[in-house]
């Protein structure tokens, strides 16, 4: 899947101790190493890009034979995540092609597990791909340490600490083979061990206890370097790079911790918002339920009152029928019915008023006083019942306030 990268103003990356170590490593044994990084390639010459074009800060550029034809091989070493990598790689690719008129193979070599660039990269204009840039990615931690030991590819031994399946035994085996291979060349041997020691400092592939044991074994060679000025210089540089690497690792750890904390804060905020929304939904459902129950209770109470009053009137009518003439009984019945209707209406109004005020107190407490004042002015059951339904359905306090004020209009 092609990826895109936002335009970035900066073109140069900050040099890191691991990057400089890898540059030196590939530079000293380029004919042996390049075919292992790009299968089928054979070394022709090293291109001194910084001398030809000082503004270019590429890691390493070589002329190789690949697929039977001359190519430019551009290698970038990345020990940390770099958001500007693809844009910088594309600029270098274009400049190298312009200057040498040869196909350019661009490779990013990652010694450690970090966020990697993705190939191909596309420059998009809406749905149109203006430019597609293919480059290669080589994570060293995906390489199998046992393969390089089995094939005795000694040029890759300094990188063993970064590889997959590596162990203390593998590194000690490689150290013994390097010591035998360079027994007459202390400078090269010291350089190999210095590279190995620096990469060992950063790797997480080896348990801490085994890592300390390997570092102890490396320190056993220190007496061999005491009388050799060049080797002492190499070791001093390596120690400085190890210190720098440790400082860089601590800085990266702090940055990662800050990023993780920020992520946790954002997640907590999102969870709080979700909980708030759920609570509001539950409250809304509960309020609607209360309103429905209040209305049902009011209707039930009204029905019961009607039944009670009807029974009482019937009893009075029966008593009047016995005592007085039928005509008087009928007149009395009419009078009682009228009184009952009035009383029933008043009781119904009272019940509806109380239900309406109770509903307002439950949903919109700040409108209770307004409801108490305005409800007292309404003496029609139909109006009160209508307002009860509207308040129950009101989405917010402003809508409810409009309905309450309309009662006094």
- pLDDT by 10s per residue, the chain, length 409: 555 544 443 434 444 556 677 788 888 889 999 999 999 999 999 987 664 454 555 568 999 999 999 999 999 888 777 778 888 899 999 999 999 999 999 999 888 888 888 889 898 999 998 899 999 999 988 888 899 999 999 998 888 888 888 888 888 898 889 889 988 888 888 888 888 887 877 777 788 888 888 888 877 776 665 555 555 665 566 566 666 666 665 666 576 667 676 777 777 777 777 777 777 777 777 777 877 877 787 778 778 877 877 787 788 777 776 777 677 667 777 888 888 888 888 888 899 889 989 999 999 999 999 888 888 888 888 888 888 898 889 889 998 888 888 876 6
pLDDT the model gives residue 191: 80
pLDDT the model gives residue 13: 45
Q: What are phi and psi of 168, to 5 degrees?
A: -60, -40
Query: Per this entry, what is the length of the chain?
Result: 409
> Could you count the other beta carbons within 10 Å of the beta carbon of residue 328?
12
Q: Are 354 and 376 in contact (CB under 8 A)?
A: no
The closest alpha carbon to 195, from 149, 155, 228, belongs to: 155
CA pseudo-torsion sign 372, 375, 381, 382: negative
Q: Are 97 and 89 in contact (CB under 8 A)?
A: no
Residues in contact with 341: Cβ distance below 8 Å, sequence separation at least 6, in sequence order: none
**CA–CA distance, 234 with 238 (Å, rounded to integer):** 6
Tell me whether residue 199 is exposed, middle or buried, using C-beta atoms within 10 angstroms of its C-beta: 0 to 12, 13 to 18, 19 or more.
Answer: buried
pLDDT the model gives residue 366: 93
> Could you count the other beta carbons within 10 Å of the beta carbon of residue 42?
11
**β-strands 60-66, 42-46 pairing:** antiparallel
pLDDT the model gives residue 42: 93
Max Cα-Cα span within the chain: 144
Query: DSSP class of residue 156?
Result: G
**HSE on the CB side for 187, CA within 13 Å?**
5
**β-strands 69-77, 104-110 pairing:** parallel
Distance (Å) of CA 210 to CA 177, 203, 401? 19, 12, 74
pLDDT the model gives residue 6: 46
SS3 category, 66? strand
Residues in contact with 164: Cβ distance below 8 Å, sequence separation at least 6, in sequence order: 141, 142, 143, 144, 145, 205
The closest alpha carbon to 174, from 201, 147, 198, 142, belongs to: 147
CA pseudo-torsion sign 308, 309, 312, 317: negative
**Beta bridge partners of residue 65, listed in sequence order:** 42, 70
Query: Where are the alpha helices (H) located in 185-228, listed in sequence order?
Result: 186-202, 208-219, 222-225
Query: DSSP class of residue 3?
Result: B
Residues in contact with 96: Cβ distance below 8 Å, sequence separation at least 6, in sequence order: 49, 61, 72, 74, 104
Whole-model pTM over 0.85: no
SS3 category, 67? coil
248 CA to centre of own chain: 24
pLDDT the model gives residue 231: 55
pLDDT the model gives residue 201: 78
Q: Find the helix packing angle between 381-393 and 229-323, rounded to 10°.
A: 170
If residue 69 lies in a helix (H) or strand (E), which one and from where to where?
Answer: strand 69-77
């Amino acid at each position: 899947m092609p990826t895109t990268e936002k335009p970035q103003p900066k073109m140069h990356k900050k040099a890191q101790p691991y990057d400089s170590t890898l540059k030196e490593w590939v530079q000293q044994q380029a004919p042996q190493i390049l075919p292992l990084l790009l299968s089928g390639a054979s070394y022709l010459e090293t291109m001194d890009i910084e001398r030809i074009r000082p503004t270019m800060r590429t890691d390493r550029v070589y002329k190789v034979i690949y697929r039977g034809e001359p190519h430019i091989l551009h290698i970038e070493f990345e020990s940390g995540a770099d958001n500007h990598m693809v844009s910088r790689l594309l600029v270098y690719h274009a400049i190298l092609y312009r200057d040498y008129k040869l196909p350019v193979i661009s490779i990013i070599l990652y010694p450690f597990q970090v966020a990697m660039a993705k190939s191909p990269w596309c420059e998009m204009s809406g749905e149109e791909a203006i430019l597609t840039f293919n480059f290669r990615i080589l994570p060293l931690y995906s390489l199998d340490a046992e393969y390089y030991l089995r094939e005795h590819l000694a040029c890759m031994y300094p990188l063993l600490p970064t590889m997959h399946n590596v162990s203390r035994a593998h590194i000690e085996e490689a150290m013994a083979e390097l010591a035998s291979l360079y027994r007459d060349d202390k400078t090269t041997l010291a350089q190999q061990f210095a590279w190995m020691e620096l990469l060992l400092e950063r790797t997480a592939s080896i348990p801490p206890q085994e890592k300390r044991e390997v570092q102890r074994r490396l320190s056993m060679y220190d007496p061999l370097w005491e009388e050799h000025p060049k080797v002492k210089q190499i070791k001093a540089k390596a120690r400085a790079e190890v210190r720098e690497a440790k400082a860089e690792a601590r800085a990266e750890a702090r940055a990662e911790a800050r990023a993780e904390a920020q992520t946790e804060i954002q997640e907590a905020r999102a969870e709080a918002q979700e909980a708030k929304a759920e609570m509001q939904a539950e409250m809304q459902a509960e309020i609607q339920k209360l309103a429905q129950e209040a209305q049902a209770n009011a209707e039930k109470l009204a029905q019961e009152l009607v039944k009670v009053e009807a029974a009482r009137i019937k009893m009075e009518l029966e008593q009047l029928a016995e005592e007085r003439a039928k005509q008087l009984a009928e007149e009395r019945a009419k009078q009682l019915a009228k009184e009952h209707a009035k009383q029933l209406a008043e009781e119904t109004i009272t019940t509806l008023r109380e239900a309406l005020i109770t509903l307002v107190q439950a949903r919109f407490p700040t409108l209770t006083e307004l409801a108490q004042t305005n409800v007292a002015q309404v003496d029609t059951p139909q109006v009160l019942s209508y307002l009860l339904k509207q308040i129950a359905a009101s989405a917010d306090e402003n809508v409810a306030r409009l309905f309450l004020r309309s009662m006094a209009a």
